[in-house]
A and B are shown apart, each in its own frame.
Chain A
Amino acid sequence: MIGAPIFVIARLTIREASRRRLLLAVVILTLVLIGATTWGFAILTSLPCRNGEPCSPIESKILAATLLILVAFMFSFILTLGAVFITAPAVVSEVESGVALAMLARPIRRSDVVIGKWLGLATILAGYTLVTTSIEFAAVSVFVGYTPPHPIMASTFLFAESLVMLTLALLCSTRLPPMTGGVVALILFGLAWIGGIARAVGEALGADTVRTIGQVTTLILPTDGLWRGALFSLEPSLLLQGAGSGRGFAANPFFAIGPPPPEYLAWAAAWVVAILGLAVFSFNRRQL
Chain B
Amino acid sequence: MRPPQNLGPAIETTELAKRYGNQTALAGLTMSVPRGEVFGFLGPNGAGKTTAIKLLVGLIRPSAGQGTLLGEPLGDRETRRRIGYLPELFRYQEWLTAREVLVLHSELAGIPSVMRARESDSALDTVGLVRRADDRVGTYSKGMQQRLGLAVALLGQPELVFLDEPTSALDPVGRHDVREVIRSLKQRGTTVFLNSHLLTEVEQVCDRVAVIDRGRVIAIGALDEVVGSASGVRVRVNGLTTVAEEQLRTHGGFTVEQDWYTFQAVSDEEVPALVANLVRLGGQVHAVERQTGSLESRFLELMEATGHS
Contacts and interface: CB of A to CB of B under 8 A. Distances in A.
Q: Do A and B come from one complex?
A: yes
B60 interface: yes
Nearest to B85: A105
Interface stretch (B103-111, B182-190, B217-225, B253-261): B103-111
Contacts of A109: 77
A5 B109 CA distance: 9
A8 interface: yes
B302 to A, nearest CB: 29
A102 B148 CA distance: 12
B265 to A, nearest CB: 44
B92 interface: yes
Contact of B90 (A5, A16, A20, A99): A99
A74 interface: no
B60 A102 contact: no
Interface in B31-57: 54, 57
A287 B60 contact: yes
B173 interface: no
Given A287-B60, A288-B59, A108 B108 contact: yes
A16 B59 CA distance: 24
A7 to B, nearest CB: 9
A104 interface: yes
B110 A107 contact: yes
Contacts of A19: 95-96
Nearest to B76: A107
Given A5-B108, A288-B54, A105 B80 contact: yes
Given A107-B80, A288-B59, A102 B107 contact: no
Chain A: number of interface residues, binned into ranges:
20 to 34
A228 to B, nearest CB: 39
A106 B105 contact: yes
Contacts, number: 65
Which has the most chain B C-beta neighbours within 10 Å: A19, A101, A106, A288?
A: A106
B109 A101 contact: no
B59 A105 contact: yes
A109 B58 CA distance: 11
Given A101-B85, A107-B78, A288-B59, 5 more contacts: A12-B93, A12-B104, A19-B95, A99-B90, A102-B90
Interface of B: 20, 54, 57-60, 77-81, 83, 85-87, 89-93, 95-96, 104-105, 107-110, 149, 152
Interface of A: 4-5, 8, 12, 16, 19-20, 97-99, 101-109, 287-288
> 5 closest Cβ contacts across the A-B interface?
A106-B108, A98-B90, A105-B85, A19-B95, A101-B87
20 contacts: A4-B107, A5-B107, A8-B107, A12-B93, A16-B95, A19-B95, A20-B95, A101-B59, A101-B85, A101-B89, A102-B86, A102-B90, A102-B149, A104-B59, A105-B58, A105-B83, A105-B85, A107-B108, A107-B110, A108-B77
